[in-house]
Amino acid sequence: MATPTVRKLQLGNELRRMREVAGVTPGEAAKVLDSAPGKISRLELGQSGATMGDLMLLLDLYGADAEQRQRLIDLSRDNRRRGRWSGHRAVIPEWFRAFVDLERDAEDIRMVETEVVPGLFQTEAYMRAVFSTGTAAVLLDGPVDVEAAIKTRLERQELLDRPDPATVSCVLSESCVRRMVGGTAVMAEQLGWLAELGARRRVRLQLLPFDGEVVDGTIAHRFTLLRIPAARPAQPFTFAYCEDLDDARYIDDDAVVRVYDAAWGSIQAAALGPADTQSRLRELAQHLT
């Protein structure tokens, strides 16, 4: 079952689509709810949930049929479930929690990483080295519970082993595999694991080598594109995720997402192919042993 975050986004996406099909403006919808247009915007962006009363008014306004009503009512009920950010998961910063939900329910994940192996691909020893740094303490707002942080990251990686996993594509700058994290033994294990992951059917791993041609300035930026299934058989929607030291941006504006999609295409085209990447990773791992 989809996470509450993703169901809220699916509900908002459906409400926006139904409003547009019905030819209703945000202002007209807000008038029916006796609220400001901003409330409609927040609902449609998945930034807030809908009460059952508001939802029924909107469904009446949009002329929803019985099937549409039931689907959206179910989504709304699931959105009111309590979150799952307790216990060891409490270590995850609030600004990162939406990403964990999006990642879990995505059907396609595309990443560009410039300095560090992405969390989905890290070995436990590599994680331990990362979470033991002073920077990790700053990011997690205080002393790091290393074991809890590792447990949450290992849980995220479970999506790679599902019976029908998402398609995960990643372009790694060579800096990611040259940057020494935890010593030579840790890095050798990490590089070997990357080569193994790259051989999986639903994982496409490519290395952007130092001696490769620079296509444009986008290679200096790390970002993730996540394609989320719609609540019904329809065009899925895509988010771009960009992370800073203490916050993150979740971008769903179609025009901006297209910019990131174009950047992904350019970077992927400049990188080594998956087979050559696996060979290079194995060579680098051997040099460390």
Pair (31, 53) in one structural domain:
yes
pTM given for the model: 0.80
pLDDT (tens digit per residue) in 137-149: 445 556 778 999 9
pLDDT (tens digit per residue) in 120-135: 999 999 999 999 875 5
Pairwise CA distance, residues 142 & 150, whole Å: 16
How far, in whole angstroms, is CA 247 from its chain's centroid? 14
Query: What tokens appear for 109 in the block?
Result: 């994940």
Question: Do residues 193 and 123 touch, judged by C-beta distance below 8 A?
Answer: yes
Pair (73, 93) in one structural domain:
no
Domain that holds residue 195: 87-288
Pair (282, 234) in one structural domain:
yes
Pair (53, 115) in one structural domain:
no
| Count of CA atoms in the C-beta half-sphere (13 A) of 136 | 15
Residue 205 has pLDDT above 60, yes or no: yes
Number of domains the chain is built from: 2
The 3-state DSSP class for residue 109 equals strand
Pair (171, 284) in one structural domain:
yes
> Residue 156 belongs to a domain with what CATH number?
3.30.870
Pair (34, 96) in one structural domain:
no
Pair (57, 96) in one structural domain:
no
Pair (155, 239) in one structural domain:
yes
Pairwise CA distance, residues 114 & 110, whole Å: 14
Pair (184, 49) in one structural domain:
no
Pair (249, 151) in one structural domain:
yes
Tracing tokens 């879990």 back to the chain, one arrives at: 104
